[in-house]
Amino acid sequence: MRNLIHSLKQHKQQAMQFFLMAAVPLAALASTTGAEFSTFYQFVYDAATGYLGRGIAITGGLITLGIAAGTGKAVIAILGVVLAVFGALGPSIIDNIFGSAII
């Protein structure tokens, strides 16, 4: 039993690579099928592109702008603006990129 455990510890990285490579074809099939996940996808997409996603993006942007004003660092302010813009526009951009990809 000790030899088995010792052998597994030595070959842990190789085993992980094998399982990851075995999972890649399954991930490709999941992108072309999986009608059971369409309801979940539609819920997440609607939440991200709707008022909830925009509200979170604007709130995150305002919080980082407030932190930037308190600390006096312009980099944090720029990060807040980028967060708000990406949060509002990001889900649509990502959906268009992955929706047009041929896997």
In tens digits, what is the pLDDT along the chain, a chain of 103 residues?
Answer: 677 666 766 777 776 777 666 666 665 555 556 677 788 888 888 888 888 888 888 888 889 888 888 998 888 888 888 888 888 888 888 878 877 766 5
Tell whether 29 is covered by a domain.
no
Q: What pLDDT does 97 receive? A: 80
Tell whether 8 is covered by a domain.
no
Q: Which domain holds residue 52?
A: 36-100
Please report, for residues 15, 16, 21, 38, 73, the alpha-carbon distance to residue 7 in angstroms, rounded to integers and kept in the order given: 11, 14, 21, 42, 52
Tell whether 9 is covered by a domain.
no
Q: What pLDDT does 95 receive? A: 78
Q: What pLDDT does 1 receive? A: 63
Please tell me the total count of domains within the chain: 1
Tell whether 13 is covered by a domain.
no
Tell whether 11 is covered by a domain.
no
Tell whether 18 is covered by a domain.
no
Q: What pLDDT does 99 receive? A: 73
Tell whether 65 is covered by a domain.
yes
